[in-house]
Structure 1
């Protein structure tokens, strides 16, 4: 069995977009998400986790223990049935299993964590089991991401597009639109709890290596005309010696400083920014590593 992580981690990811829409808002005509008060761009944690899941699914296709639970257009109950098979029961018999086995909830939870990387990593709300009288319920994952926020304000642009062909003879020339961000550098912060990994999901050292690889490459399998050019530019990892941590996360995040070289003109490339990481006088028990 893989060794469960023993150290807490906090990390910062910097990624950018050029002439693309990093995360459209369906309630705003798919316009790039934006903080209405400050004008800064936003990318949700759900969006980033989706890309990490997609990379892991592609990189570990067919490997035991590295399947993905939350998949696009795949009902969760398909994976749930495997848990029932593991217990040797049908879904209809699940309501009576706890009378015979009081630990049935924990056995299902452990089965799902062992087999699905994203449950082991991000956790899951498995309320679909409750209709069968089971309560393996909400699994809190050790890896948590916040919303990504652009370093500067963004100015989304609406581009009108046309098709050169028509579906029918009497159709008008079809026209559409797409939103792009000419350029933006985004920052997202994350945390990894060794305590939750040990107590709940069993997130291991091998899982951690895969997670770093997935974060660094999460946009490499996600290229499209709509998203433009997106890339992870820097991954800064703070490793704590202890399970519960040796310093507050905000003190470590404050050490990653981003400055635009020329504030008089809009940024149009990663080279327009200067990234500085203060590694002097690090808190005792904390080590800083740049992975990109």
Structure 2
């Protein structure tokens, strides 16, 4: 492969949910995950990776290793079955884009693979407190024979949550483990983050929208700015729990831009996508993101 990654890069991704459950906790009635001390909504990195994997498999037709598959009788296939689909560890790595991105751990019979993925994300966190809402309804059909009426349905949702994720693409993790991660793989991952979020259309996930995606490609080796997600704020004039839409506030990026400018000599280029409804500000003044980074080599991502 001719375009194996050589540069480290950092990723900042913002998306929001409206009257949906961004990441239910299966051991707590599938409620949205909320930090009880701060009221902040939490989304696991596993949820984001699931979005990416599903998009790459379903919409791009790519081989994905961590994927729910069933046999002809409808029974879930095992990890051993999945390994047999591809063959050797090298075959799995070369064929499966999610293994090249996120690594994998398998220990089945005589086949063991432990790879730390070159791409790692921290937990996503909302940029404001959220208000969990309990919704109850009814179904038309009875749950079982002998019942004459439908049953009650119930679910927990968030009226609104603007969530930020931070990640790193580590070229050394790829090189040291002989993982042939390419720039094309990373491009497909970025597309999957953006378009895959739009395509979350299940009952609990309808209402997701990507708002901002930034990739900071470094030219200095073994270096990253770090914590890009902590350099932005969602500034608004209503109480946190009253937020309902991205237009209810502005994404304050003053600290982010200051950090980029302070590291300008170490940055090769910026790549970004912006949703047209997102409003950015620098020190309270509305701005166009492209205008405030015009002194950098810039590529606007066209998904």
Change (3 A) 1:264 1:38: closer
2:9 matches 1:6: no
CA distance in 1, matches of 2:80, 2:238: 52
What residue is the counterpart of 2:213 in the other structure?
235
Change (3 A) 1:2 1:160: same
User: What do the CA deviations read for 1:78-132 (whole angstroms, capped 9, x no partner)?
Assistant: 2322554xxxxxxxxxxxxxxxxxxxxxxx433221011110110000122xx22
Moved more, 7-16 or 276-285: 276-285
CA distance in 2, matches of 1:164, 1:118: 41
2:284 matches 1:285: no
* TM-score, normalised relative to structure 1: 0.82
What residue is the counterpart of 1:109 in the other structure?
89
CA distance in 2, matches of 1:231, 1:220: 5
The structure where helix makes up a greater share of residues is 1
CA distance in 2, matches of 1:54, 1:259: 29
Change (3 A) 1:68 1:264: closer
2:98 matches 1:121: no
SS, match of residue 93 in structure 2: helix
SS, match of residue 196 in structure 1: helix
Which one has the largest radius of gyration? 1
Q: 1:69 aligns with which of 65, 90, 93?
A: 65
Change (3 A) 1:193 1:170: closer
What residue is the counterpart of 2:20 in the other structure?
20
1:219–1:230 contact (8 Å) kept in structure 2: yes
Which protein has greater RCO, CA pairs closer than 8 Å, 6+ apart? 1
1:234–1:291 contact (8 Å) kept in structure 2: yes
1:193–1:243 contact (8 Å) kept in structure 2: no
Q: How does 1:1-292 map to 2 (within 5 A)?
A: 1-61=1-61, 66-72=62-68, 73-82=76-85, 84=87, 108-128=88-108, 131-132=109-110, 134-135=111-112, 137-166=113-142, 167-200=144-177, 201-245=179-223, 247-250=224-227, 252-255=228-231, 257-264=232-239, 266-277=242-253, 278-280=256-258, 281-283=261-263, 284-286=265-267, 287-292=269-274
Unaligned 5+ residue runs, structure 2? 69-75, 275-303
SS, match of residue 209 in structure 1: helix
Q: Alignment RMSD, CA only? A: 2.0
Unaligned 5+ residue runs, structure 1? 85-107
Change (3 A) 1:116 1:169: same
CA distance in 1, matches of 2:213, 2:57: 21
* TM-score, normalised relative to structure 2: 0.79
